[in-house]
Amino acid sequence: MDARTSRYHDVYARWQRDPQGFWGEAARDIDWIEPPKQVFDPNAGVYGRWFTGGVCNTCWNAVDRHVLRGRGEQAAIIYDSPLAGQKRTISYHRLQVETQVLAAILRNLGVEKGDRVVLYMPMVPEAVIAMLACARIGAVHSVVFGGFAANELATRIDDAKPKLILSASCGLEVGRIVKYKPLLDEAIALARHKPDACLILQRPQQEAALVPGRDHDWAKLRDEAIVFARSVYDCVPVAATDPLYILYTSGTTGRPKGVVRDNGGHMVALKWSMQNLYGVEPGEVYWAASDVGWVVGHSYIVYAPLLHGCTSILFEGKPVGTPDAGAFWRVIAEHGCIAMFTAPTAFRAIKKEDPQGKLLAQYDLSKFRTLFLAGERADPDTVQWAEKLLRVPVIDHWWQTETGWAIAGNPVGLGQLPVKYGSASVAMPGYQIDIVDDARKPVAANKIGSIVIKLPLPPACLPTLWQQDERFKESYLAEFPGYYKTADAGFKDEDGYIHVMSRTDDIINVAGHRLSTGGMEEVLAAHKDVAECAVIGVVDELKGEVPCGFIVLKAGVNRPVAEIEQECIALVREKIGPVAAFKLAIAVARLPKTRSGKILRGTMKKIADGEAWTMPATIDDPAILGEIGAALKGRGLGA
């Protein structure tokens, strides 16, 4: 690892000199129906749009062109499910056929270009096929993670207004079956918007009752479409600036924030990243151990590997428990995986179960070259443990749902730079990353501030929020004019390496999943005995952060406190879902506040994490922080 042998600095400088020339050259790796008239139009959209005038189709680039150019028999998707006890390999040719069939079914059910389709799916090949089928006909897909509760799904249905919903009878977790269909039925009942129809994949582990006139059996329609040769459906031309998908991100209060991803810029940046950042060649086996419900699943299970002509692994399992902490090693060895991308949480779980890495000895990982980590800050201990065990580079990188691909990383394909533990490495081409203070002034090297990105954002980043341009400006662009606000805090060192330290808003990161503490507070506040509440993220060795809720009971409540705390925990898990990992509610007499009434969540978090803290100058009653510390200590938290 020598910075002098990496091409990174030359490539980044070339982007700085000529951004349009840089991305125009990258765009040549995409098949265009009509080439863009402009690489970047600063007068279009909120801050400008990429590849305006271009006409393309994402499904064509991800599937059909590979079949046309001789990759038809290559594996496109390897489905490996220890939970279902099933493995399946789908070639590019088979993926093309299945995508054509489903595209025809969607059209027969009335879905047109521009219509939205919600996917509420487990980790099965049909989820990938559904995303590609939507892209094929120009429909806009919105995948909702299967772990979300009915009311969360309902808010997304109301925002996206889908013509159709694709779902499954159930999802699988370790030791249990999650019934999706009752959650879907409840969500549709709660939602103001009603879809025209639902397509349901019946899984053998748990079949579901279908609603007559609304629900259709997925397999039955597929079989009919193939038998009657109604399967061929050509790719529909769409504008490069047309939306490919909507993905809802943090925030469970009020209207959800739907991140929009376009077609053209998304393809260009993701295709570029596979070779240059991840160092992967077409035809190689790549694995993003995530879920299709999250942005990592969209970008690096489905679109980027397929755009690049790789084989992508779709894993329905866990790093531990399916059957043991050697699950990842088994998948890498069995399928000849050369690069893997997962969250640090997964490796913390493996390390906890098998600290000596003894299970690795059973497997041949000789083809494996690189481990990539993202989704939360990768702590140095976990990175070094993985390096020592795997004897390959372990690369942390940083990005967001909003950006769709890495903001900062260590570009293996351009020549790896030295690793600095605790850092996500350097800015990727397309991103000018600055660190500023509250007065919007640049800060010195190694000084913590707000991390911001100079506009315009590069291709694949969100151009706006779904039908909420003003909210997009207010949420991301208003606080630092000329910049995109990442809402992350950190610093840049003397070598230009980015160190992301924490969130600057109320989003906590639970096992790589960004969740809103404000949303959890709204749920807690709805409990009949709760007067007020506050939720903070507490550092957790396994998940990065876990939520901790403080509740103040209403006067006159004389029920057992422990009973109310358990009800609050159950309420959050019901309304937001198990993904919130909400397991701790603490009843306290009062919450620490400023004289203006603002709850001092930041100070509470420092106490809970055992960090040094100073008494806020604006605090109303200093004695309350001592009470909070005592309450936390009673639960084994704090110093």
pLDDT in tens, 412-447: 999 999 999 989 999 999 999 999 988 889 999 998
The answer to whether residues 390 and 371 touch, using CB atoms and an 8 Å cutoff, is yes
Contacts of 39 (CB under 8 A, 6+ apart): 20, 21, 23, 24, 27, 50, 51
Q: Is residue 303 part of a domain?
A: yes
Same domain, 404 and 530: no
Q: Tell whether the model's pLDDT for residue 618 goes beyond 80.
A: no
Q: Note whether 26 and 169 are same-domain residues.
A: yes
CATH number at residue 581: 3.30.300.30
Return the beta strands (E) in 317-427 as ranges. 337-342, 370-373, 394-396, 398-399, 406-409, 426-427
Instruction: Check pLDDT > 90 for residue 585.
Output: yes
What are the structure tokens assigned to 425, written together?
């490495």
Tokens in use for 365? 């990982």
Look at residue 527 and tell me whether its pLDDT is greater than 80: yes
pLDDT of residue 580: 81
Q: Are residues 108 and 153 in the same domain?
A: yes
Amino acid at 301: I
Domain boundary among 454, 477, 500: 477
| Count of the separate structural domains present in the chain | 2
Residues in the chain: 639
Is 265 buried (19+), middle (13-18) or exposed (0-12) by CB count in 10 A? buried
The pLDDT assigned to 254 comes to 67
Same domain, 105 and 195: yes
Find how far residue 562's CA is from the centre of its chain: 35
Residue 251's pLDDT is: 46
Report pLDDT for 252: 41
Residues 221 and 305 placed together within one structural domain of the fold: yes
Instruction: Find the CATH number of the domain harbouring 19.
Output: 3.40.50.12780
pLDDT attached to residue 536: 92
- pLDDT (tens digit, 9 = 90+) per residue, 539-563? 888 888 899 999 989 878 899 999 9
Q: Do 10 and 87 belong together in one domain? A: yes
Write down the pLDDT at residue 3: 60
Examine the domain organization and report whether 66 and 153 are in the same domain: yes
Answer yes or no: do 445 and 560 share one domain.
no
Say whether both 599 and 456 belong to one domain. no
The answer to whether position 18 is within a domain reads: yes
pLDDT in tens, 220-270: 999 988 876 556 789 999 999 999 999 998 544 468 899 999 999 999 999
Domain residues for the domain of 564 are 511-633
| Domain annotation covers residue 558 | yes
User: What is the DSSP code (8-state) at residue 463?
Assistant: S
Reported confidence tier of residue 501, pLDDT bands at 50, 70, 90? confident
One-letter identity of residue 635: R
Q: Say if 390 falls within a structural domain.
A: no
Structure confidence at residue 502 (pLDDT): 67
d(CA 56, CA 133): 15
The answer as to whether 40 is a domain residue is yes
Q: What is the mean pLDDT of residues 144-153?
A: 85
Residue 157 has what pLDDT? 97
Query: Is there a single domain that holds both residue 453 and residue 534?
Result: no
198-207, 407-416, 626-635: least confidently modelled range: 626-635
Tell me what the mean pLDDT of segment 84-99 comes to: 97
- Please tell me the predicted confidence (pLDDT) of residue 438: 80
Same structural domain for residues 582 and 450?
no
Say which amino acid occupies 262: D
Q: What is the mean pLDDT of the chain?
A: 92
The answer on pLDDT for 506 being more than 80 is no
**Does residue 499 belong to any structural domain of this protein?**
no
433 and 541 assigned to the same domain: no
| CA–CA dist 490, 396 (Å, integer) | 15
Calpha distance 444→494 (Å, rounded): 9
Indicate whether 615 belongs to any domain: yes
Single out the residue of 316, 463, 330, 327 nearest to residue 404, CA to CA.
463
pLDDT digits (tens, 9 = 90+) for 343-389: 888 888 888 888 889 999 999 999 999 999 998 778 788 899 999 99
Q: What pLDDT score does 531 carry?
A: 81
Mean pLDDT value across residues 618-637: 88
Q: 79: which strand partners? A: 88, 314
Q: What does the pLDDT average to over 187-200?
A: 98
Identify the domain boundary among 451, 477, 503.
477
Q: Are 453 and 431 in contact (CB under 8 A)?
A: yes
Report yes or no on 532 lying in a domain: yes
Point out which residues pair with 189 in neighbouring strands: none
